[in-house]
Amino acid sequence: MAITNEKVAGYAFLEKLFGDSYYPQELIAEGRTILLELCERIERQRPADLAALYALTAVATERFNELDGKMRDAGSEIETVARDEIAVDFHFVAKAYGFPEADIEELVAERDW
């Protein structure tokens, strides 16, 4: 499914992490895919309220938890810079889809990183 939200379609997810040699770039690309798939799910399911949005972001956050394990296996991790970048991107997604009041911490509440 193609992203129809113009703000999202033109957004560079995890921009600060690409090109940083600390992060395995193929895993950062996987993180970008997680975020794009979250957007696709939001467009498909059209959450009616914050609770429904948080349910979708919880699934994506769990996928980032798994990604952190892969990063650790590769000698990296989701640390401070990556945590902030991921959370900011989750918040961007919430705002782009009409949820500006979404709590950034709640969007990634399931995180282990």
For residue 93, is it within any domain?
yes
Dist. CA 82–CA 103, nearest whole Å: 18
Question: pTM of the prediction?
Answer: 0.96
In the chain, how many domains are there?
1
Cα angle for residues 35, 15, 95 (degrees, 5° grid): 50
For residue range 55-106, what is the model confidence (pLDDT) as tens digits? 999 999 999 999 999 999 999 999 999 999 999 999 999 999 999 999 999 9
User: What range does the domain containing 91 cover?
Assistant: 15-108
pLDDT of amino acid 1:
74
For residue 47, is it within any domain?
yes
Cα angle for residues 73, 87, 11 (degrees, 5° grid): 100
For residue 7, is it within any domain?
no
Mean pLDDT of the chain: 97
Q: Cβ(83)–Cβ(113) under 8 Å?
A: yes
Q: Cβ(102)–Cβ(50) under 8 Å?
A: yes
54 contact partners, CB below 8 Å, separation of at least 6: 102, 106, 107, 109
Give the confidence band of 47 by pLDDT, cuts at 50, 70, 90. Answer: very high
For residue 36, is it within any domain?
yes
For residue 4, is it within any domain?
no
